[in-house]
Structure 1
């Protein structure tokens, strides 16, 4: 590890880029290298210092989400088992691994709730999952299909969702540039657009950082509307009435 210097880091950087991968992919390798080197210095005390590992600039991606009409069209094109999973994802915002790994022991339909254990959550914190009507309807349909897992196909747990059937359904629905994970973005976007506070979305979605949820803030300005009206008006109401009347007279004379 003592042989790893700036030139080695630069070589890794250039070699990864030469394969044609995106900056984000290169950064995952560099971030792992940086984490190991930092632990070697501060935790394990194997090294006295570490070369600086700079990450590449990543383009800011626009949040990809569906309208209700697009979502309904996609669900109608998916085979039933994938449609149920997608509906449940849109109803709860759960990550793919939490949906595919959901067990009946984690569901309480009677009280309209489910839960994700801490060791199953990305942030390593348990998540309480309130179930809305769509989620309950999906779960009710799945009762008895598999003894352990909620989502199964032909008696086996579903582990992969980005299958040929998924991509064919997207094509038939006329939806492009959409991943399964974007169902979670869609869920969060709908919540924000319908007025759910960001801190509530954060707790519902199991995000560790509030900054992760702020990317959805621009989708709703309802909480800012009251402050927008704090400014004194520049145009008097009487002026608006006069302008409207003049416009109406001109249109009548022209006709």
Structure 2
């Protein structure tokens, strides 16, 4: 009545944020908030700061959660606090809180390093994968496409290039709503061109007719993620690192792709395009000549198994205790 700010909990702020926010990563934010609610849901929003978050941070670290994951969760707290301090006003025109807290970056130094595969490791690992994952992995390691793009890859993203007697795929940079879900768009928000060497093309040709929409279906439906129990089991059976210092995620295949391009002498700018790094340009406007250059580049990593390409050496880090 007299303009006194009412007590509001973080749970109330989280509900307001989810109800009023539109962004393609909102589902991920909702998952973060479900976890945060266990620790700070009943806490008054103006009482949240690095001091009161220590119990939550300790619990997450004890659970074995990586600092990158906890940092994403803190980013949602930071965003909600900023809105409460700068945007959200009550019926008395008072902001929800006076000042947003300063939330420090986490420095746990626990990020798992990528683990590019050697040719021998790749063959051993791929043989242990279920057939549908084997095909997806073979395509991914020959194109550098992110796991999300491989899972979502659609036939209507394929474009014929008659001049080169081949086809390419273009993954949309922006979100697109389909009948069975929302394609969230590429990470860098740019359309991405995916060129095919002979191995990737053979995988694509073998998938034709299996599903009207998706290139890599499983049991008649779109696959939601590559990093599932089949992937994890095959990784461990192949004798690849499981101690946590290296990641086991499918993203390793993108690093493998990049290392092989570099070992084959592919120019930096060409590698940048093939690895789908943000360029500021419109990748779908490539001429046939430019596409031919990209295709020739990815062909070079196919020839490695026959000994025509220079090998690349991976230096593994050995940690000796004591």
Q: Distance between the aligned counterparts of 2:238 and 2:51, measured in 1?
A: 49
Alignment of 1:223-234 (within 5 A): none
Query: Match for residue 55 of structure 1?
Result: 105
Deviation at 1:97, TM superposition (A): 1.2
Q: Distance between the aligned counterparts of 1:37 and 1:205, measured in 2?
A: 36
Query: Match for residue 14 of structure 1?
Result: 58
Q: Distance between the aligned counterparts of 2:160 and 2:237, measured in 1?
A: 33
Query: Match for residue 170 of structure 1?
Result: 235
Query: Match for residue 251 of structure 1?
Result: none
- In the alignment of these two chains, the number of paired residues is 212
Q: Quick one: which of 179, 189, 208 aligns to 1:143? A: 208
CA RMSD of aligned residues (A): 2.8
Q: Distance between the aligned counterparts of 2:201 and 2:132, measured in 1?
A: 15
Deviation at 1:11, TM superposition (A): 4.1
Query: Match for residue 250 of structure 2?
Result: 180
Q: Quick one: which of 197, 205, 208 aligns to 1:132? A: 197
Query: Match for residue 25 of structure 1?
Result: 69
Deviation at 1:108, TM superposition (A): 2.6
Describe the shift of the 1:87–1:154 C-alpha distance in structure 2 as closer, same or farther (beyond 3 A).
same
Q: Distance between the aligned counterparts of 1:74 and 1:131, measured in 2?
A: 22
Q: Distance between the aligned counterparts of 1:6 and 1:169, measured in 2?
A: 40
Q: Distance between the aligned counterparts of 2:169 and 2:270, measured in 1?
A: 17
Alignment of 1:102-251 (within 5 A): 102-108=153-159, 110=161, 111-118=166-173, 119=175, 120-177=185-242, 178-208=248-278
Q: Which structure has more helix as a fraction of its residues?
A: 1
Q: Contact 1:100–1:159 at 8 Å: present in 2 too?
A: yes
Q: Quick one: which of 134, 137, 143 aligns to 1:92? A: 143
Q: Distance between the aligned counterparts of 1:164 and 1:81, measured in 2?
A: 13
Deviation at 1:180, TM superposition (A): 1.7
TM-score by length of 1: 0.71
Deviations 1:95-137 (A, max 9, x none): 1111011110011355431111012211222111112111111
Deviation at 1:81, TM superposition (A): 1.6
Deviations 1:167-198 (A, max 9, x none): 34334433333322211121122222222334
| Structure 1 alignment gaps of length 5 or more | 211-218, 221-255
Q: Contact 1:92–1:187 at 8 Å: present in 2 too?
A: yes
Q: Distance between the aligned counterparts of 1:81 and 1:11, measured in 2?
A: 43
Larger radius of gyration: 1
